[in-house]
Copies of this chain bind each other. A is one copy, B any other.
Amino acid sequence: MGIDPGLTRCGLSVVKTGRGRSLKPVAVGVARTPSGAPLTERLLTLSDAVGEWMDDYEPDVVAIERVFERGEVSTVMHTAHAVGVLVLAAARRGLEVHMYTPSEVKKAITGNGRADKAQMTSMITRILGLGEAPKPADAADALALAVCHAWRAPFLAATGGPDNPAATPAQRRLAEARQKAKRTPNAWKTAQRTIPARGGGPR
C-alpha cells in the first residue's frame, strides 16, 4: 500500500506484486477532509478512512512519503500530524511502515531523482498498464510510493535492510502482531477490481 500523506487530500493506493518486477494496480483513491473543520475531526476522518482501506485490502506493508520542512509552516505541520495518524493506523494492524523521500521515489520509478510530474505520471501509467493517467496528483503519487517500495523491497531484503522480517526483535514483534491482526492472511479480496476502485478518483 502506498500513501501520499496529507490532511486536505491524502492519496491512497494498493498494488499487487507479481513475478520479477511485474505489478498490478488494485485500488487508488483520495481521502479528503474539509479544511474548515477542527483538527480533531479531520484527523478522526483520516484515521477512519485509511483504517477502512487497510481492513479492506489487507496490505502486507505500507509505504509513506517522508515529510520535510518545506513550504508553508501550517501545511507542513498538518501533513506531519496526518503522518502520525497514518503510521498509527498501520501500527494498530501490525503493518510495517517504510518511508521514502520524494527523490527516492522519483529515482526508483524513472531512474532520475529530479524527474518532473509529467515523467512520473507517464511512467506510473506504463508500469501499471493503466488505461489512462491516474488523477489527481495525490493518487498518482500514492501509486508511485507503492511501486517504489515494491521494487526496492527485494533489494532491501537482500542487503539485510529494514524489509527483512527477521532483522530486529522489534520487526519480529511487528510481524507477529500482523499475523494476529490479519483475519484472512494474504487474501487480496479485491485484486480483480480496476482503477479507480473506490474513494476519491477523478473529480
Contact = CB atoms under 8 A, between A and B. Distances in A.
Which secondary structure dominates where chain A touches chain B?
Answer: helix
Interface centre among A37, A39, A41 (most CB of B within 10 A): A39
Chain A interface category by residue count: 20 to 34
Q: How many copies does the complex hold?
A: 2
A81 B77 contact: no
Given A73-B69, A76-B69, A41 B91 contact: yes
Interface in A120-158: none
Contacts of A77: 67, 69, 80, 83
A80 to B, nearest CB: 3
A47 B174 contact: no
A67 to B, nearest CB: 6
Interface of A: 37-41, 43-44, 47, 67-69, 73, 76-77, 80-85, 87-88, 90-92, 95-97, 170-171, 173-174
